Amino acid sequence: MALINLLNELLNQAIVRYAIVMYIIWLILPLLSLTDRKNFRLTSINAARTAVILLIMYVISSVLIILVGFKIYFPYVNSIFLTLTTWLILQSKNENKELPLMLLVLMLILIPYTVVMIYDSYPLGDDVRFTVGFAAAIAHDGRWIPLKYNENDYYQPFDAEPALTYMLLSTMGVPLKDIPIYYLLLKYSLFLIYVLSIYFITYRLTNSKGTAQLALLLFSITPPLSLTQIVAQGVSIVLALLTLTAIINQQLNNTNNIWVVILVFAVSGVIFHATYPLVIAAYLLPLLLIKGDAVIRLGRNRAGNYLAIIMAISIAYWVFTFAGIAVFSGLPMSIVQFINFLAGAFKPYATAWQPWYGPGLNQYLVSWTLVPAIAASAITYFIIKKMTRIGNLPENNNRYLVVLGLLGLLGIVLNFIARQSTWLGGRYFYWLYLLLLPLVSYFIIMTFRDRIISTLLVIALIAILGFYGVQDPTHSANTFITGIGWANNLSWKVSWVIAPLLSGNMPTILDPRIGTPLFAINFILNKPPPPAPRTGYPALIIIGNDNIGARIYEPTNSTSVVISLNFYKAYITRLG
């Protein structure tokens, strides 16, 4: 009965229904390709020249849209060029994939990112308040002082992300208050490294530049992989991909002098976020589970050595961190809560947060299902062919990619189920989508290349989902649609007006679109944060007068004093 209730609960969610439909579609498309015309290529088209023309047209179109302010038309333009570029990749006769085509692929990734940054150049999200706020704390104190600020236990020895931000703005000579200048540079630098690392790893795993380019296009329309906001976990994922790139490069060139670089990446990645060793383990574990697969010519023993060293560094950091906190300030609260949880005295995950995707935004969830559905189809055909040995079924012969994709797919499903009833998982495991990209892009190339009808259907499907993908709030925040409580440019401007007027003694309840900027601005102004409200005592509530604000607090006191601030309202009321 419990299983039936769980299935009913899952099927009532739009994203699950989308995933099932997409999986069925991607089971049918490969079968259709078996009856499709073979060896069909546009041999008369010069891929390099066509890519140059498309590149120029795409850049000009995007610039005009930005200058005129017609941002609502950008998803349509982007989808058209996504269609044409995917067609070039699948039908180009030159497997070397000329440089203009690669530049076109990069523009299809960087331009949507640029459009988002232009309209929302300030830090977005909730955790990013620490980026600027604690960077200001480092500037005021001269260094990061452990245990001084209310920060996660893991970051107490050294809060790496604010330190990176502070070093960058100090190098540039930019004041702390000029946030977009140094924050955008940090965003673009990390995003470019992120993209190029995905390309290099996919290329080395598949030995196909076309596959790597297709992986980048799929990456650009997959919202969970977005790097819109720069948080510590995002930096650690980028460092993990850089580490894997260095490991692969070391094996291909048979050199040992890159060990120092790998160790620097490993120590830095572990300090930034606990996700780092998990990403490394996800890529290296499949090499320990399969035999005879020389995908990246990384021996099983060496893979084990790399993994052991990185895990040792991670464990050492955990021990150092929590032992230090225990010595100087008592047993860390996270450990106390975990012990109480095991003893049954504390249940921190009894209920889950409600998803911010409302009914009006459900259609954007379809873009989350594209890559998992293709991966599930590829794995299904691999298993069927191995069991039945039917010769003409589509198959991915690269066992490493199959195991890597299976690991990622299982992780995504478990993460989704866990998130339904607990606070576990969620965005902390969105990086699992990275494990699917090599398998998915390789499967599409091997199954649909040289076909005509099935290729057109595949490209049309990718383009349609790409239309939703670039607009998804996780990727585009407040650029194309609203509905997510992230602070945009207007929020920061309003917060700069409010911050000097707030008393440090007045308890407050803040809309996150105001609370996030105010957290950072208070540090820049060297003001203490306002105290938390107490039941039965007056408090200042600054909240939006829309459905997002209503999710935070719904004032009911008819004697409340209302001060209108743009699309926000300030309420002075009594709690309780």
Residues 6+ apart with CB under 8 A from 536: 574, 575, 576
In the structure, how many helices (H) and strands (E) does the chain have? 22, 4
Residue 460: other Cβ atoms inside 10 A: 12
- Give residue 404's pLDDT: 93
**Structure tokens given for 493:** 């401007």
**Structure tokens given for 97:** 């994939």
- Give residue 3's pLDDT: 64
Give residue-wise pLDDT tens across range 140-165. 888 998 888 888 888 888 888 899 99
Q: Which of 66-70, 208-212, 348-352 has the lowest mean pLDDT?
A: 348-352
Nearest to 50 by CA among 91, 101, 96: 101
Q: Report how far Cα 155 is from the mean position of its chain's Cα atoms.
A: 21
Give residue-wise pLDDT tens across range 329-342. 666 666 666 666 55
Residue 350: other Cβ atoms inside 10 A: 9
Report yes or no: 431 and 279 within 8 Å, Cβ to Cβ: yes
Q: Which of 62-76, 117-131, 330-344, 406-420 has the lowest mean pLDDT?
A: 330-344
HEC readout, 177-236:
CCHHHHHHHHHHHHHHHHHHHHHHHHHHHHCCHHHHHHHHHHHHCCHHHCCCCCCHHHHH
Q: Which of 116-125, 398-407, 440-449 has the lowest mean pLDDT?
A: 116-125
Mean residue pLDDT across the chain: 81
Distance CA 524, CA 526 (A): 5
Residue 123 sits at the vertex; the CA angle it makes with 120 and 127, to the nearest 5 degrees, is 135
Element (H, E) at 571: strand 568-574
Give residue-wise pLDDT tens across range 185-197. 899 999 999 999 9
Q: Which of 17-21, 32-36, 409-413 has the lowest mean pLDDT?
A: 32-36
What distances in angstroms separate CA 251 from CA 248, 295, 357, one per listed residue?
5, 11, 44
What distances in angstroms separate CA 262 from CA 258, 304, 420, one per listed residue?
6, 15, 37
Residue with the bigger pLDDT between 297 and 158: it is 158
Helix (H, G, I), strand (E, B) or coil at 298: coil
- Give residue 254's pLDDT: 63
- Give residue 418's pLDDT: 74
Report yes or no: 400 and 394 within 8 Å, Cβ to Cβ: no
- Give residue 485's pLDDT: 76
Residue with the bigger pLDDT between 427 and 464: it is 464
Give residue-wise pLDDT tens across range 472-502. 888 887 788 776 778 888 888 888 888 888 8
Q: What is the mean pLDDT of residues 235-261?
A: 83
Residue 557: other Cβ atoms inside 10 A: 11
- Give residue 332's pLDDT: 63
Please check the confidence at residue 1 and state whether its pLDDT lies above 70.
Answer: no
Give residue-wise pLDDT tens across range 368-423. 999 999 999 999 988 888 777 665 555 555 788 999 999 999 999 988 877 766 56
**Structure tokens given for 216:** 């980048």
538-544 and 568-574 beta bridge pairing: antiparallel
Residues 6+ apart with CB under 8 A from 460: 83
- Give residue 336's pLDDT: 67
Element (H, E) at 3: helix 2-11
Tell me which residue has tokens 């230090």. Answer: 324
Output b/e per residue, 428-456; b: 16+ Cβ within 10 A.
ebbbbbbbbbbbbbbbbbbbbbebbebbe
β strands within 219-355, DSSP E? none
Distance CA 123, CA 127 (A): 9
Give residue-wise pLDDT tens across range 517-545. 888 898 998 888 788 777 766 777 777 77
Distance CA 113, CA 188 (A): 9
- Give residue 212's pLDDT: 93
- Give residue 559's pLDDT: 41
- Give residue 560's pLDDT: 43
Q: Cα-Cα-Cα-Cα dihedral of 473, 475, 480, 485, to 10°?
A: 40
Q: Which of 21-25, 131-135, 431-435 has the lowest mean pLDDT?
A: 131-135
